[in-house]
Amino acid sequence: MNKNAIIYVAGHRGLVGGAIVRQLEKAGYTNLVTRTSRELDLRDQAQVNEFFEAEQPEYVFLAAAKVGGILANDSYPAEFLYDNLMLEANVIHAAYKNGVKKLLFLGSTCIYPKHAPQPMPEDSLLTGPLEPTNEWYAVAKIAGIKLCQAYRRQYGCSFISAMPTNLYGIGDNFDLEKSHVMPALIRKMHEAKQAGAPSVKIWGTGTPLREFLFVDDCADACLFLMQNYDDAGIVNIGVGEDISIADLARLVAGVVGYAGELVFDTSKPDGTPRKLVDTSRINALGWRPTVSLEAGIRLTYDWYREQLDAAGVRGVG
């Protein structure tokens, strides 16, 4: 990509999109185009077509999506399926119509079957039933992958798809009702430390294994793929190793400086025993992450405290 190329980052206010913008700016790309959801409703085909015709982006990072945890997926299945189908179809089709040179579609590892082999290779896609708690989102993401492959096959479009593992980092959501495990643990440990609480309660047994990738590493991988990969096959983005929830909780407690007891509530569900992606494809291309888990947690915690400070929340030290 030429440094002056017009690059559209869809979903720039989200966790991944924000990191992609930071990575592009860091790499010297100066002609970035963004729109908030209020400025451009990606579910509206007419608006999307008008935007592409006016801006004529040469490269597109499609990181926009309706996202949420298990409760949200279960409560709003229609919105999770419809909204994601519409926005990805509109952007991908407009990219084709307006001659976009290359598009990167961001999926999710929830596309893989519930009982996929571990680590999960890319070719396990569509080999078994999905995890029911997020199947609506997963089906939409699978449709996006197949749409990219279809436009490549029929029209020769350079559309590629990447599947990031569990992400965390700067710009994360720390709302305990909606957040994922990493930001939830950081917030719980921080608040317990501030309150002098003797213990912190953590859902489940602590035995499930999860993989965590710092979001700026994910953005680095996206830029790497945009510059070095052009094939129909999907590509996993991950670290290739996992950690138990119990060990993660201890690591977060250490970074935050919380010395109380960690109590595991075994009446709460554990979820999938293990969720790890096979990263051999992207590693063979020459990419590996650079931010260690502890360093990433520290960066995320520092950012979280800055947000609290900016919001005037007392006791953020």
Which residue in 29, 137, 258, 304 is the catalytic one? 137
- Say if CB 268 and CB 204 are below 8 A apart: yes
Please indicate if the annotation marks 317 as binding a ligand.
no
Please indicate if the annotation marks 166 as binding a ligand.
yes
Please indicate if the annotation marks 288 as binding a ligand.
no
Please indicate if the annotation marks 305 as binding a ligand.
no
Please indicate if the annotation marks 204 as binding a ligand.
no
Please indicate if the annotation marks 210 as binding a ligand.
yes
Is 29 marked active-site? no
Pairing of strands 209-210, 243-244: antiparallel
Please indicate if the annotation marks 144 as binding a ligand.
no
Please indicate if the annotation marks 108 as binding a ligand.
yes
Please indicate if the annotation marks 14 as binding a ligand.
yes
The pair of structure tokens assigned to 195 is 């309150």
Please indicate if the annotation marks 187 as binding a ligand.
no
Please indicate if the annotation marks 287 as binding a ligand.
no
Please indicate if the annotation marks 171 as binding a ligand.
no
Handedness of CA 235, 236, 238, 240 (dihedral sign): negative
d(CA 301, CA 258): 13
Per the annotation, where are the binding residues? 11-17, 106-109, 141, 164-167, 180, 188, 203, 210, 270
Q: What positions carry a catalytic annotation?
A: 137
Per the annotation, where are the binding residues for substrate? 188, 203, 210, 270
Per the annotation, where are the binding residues for NADP(+)? 11-17, 106-109, 141, 164-167, 180
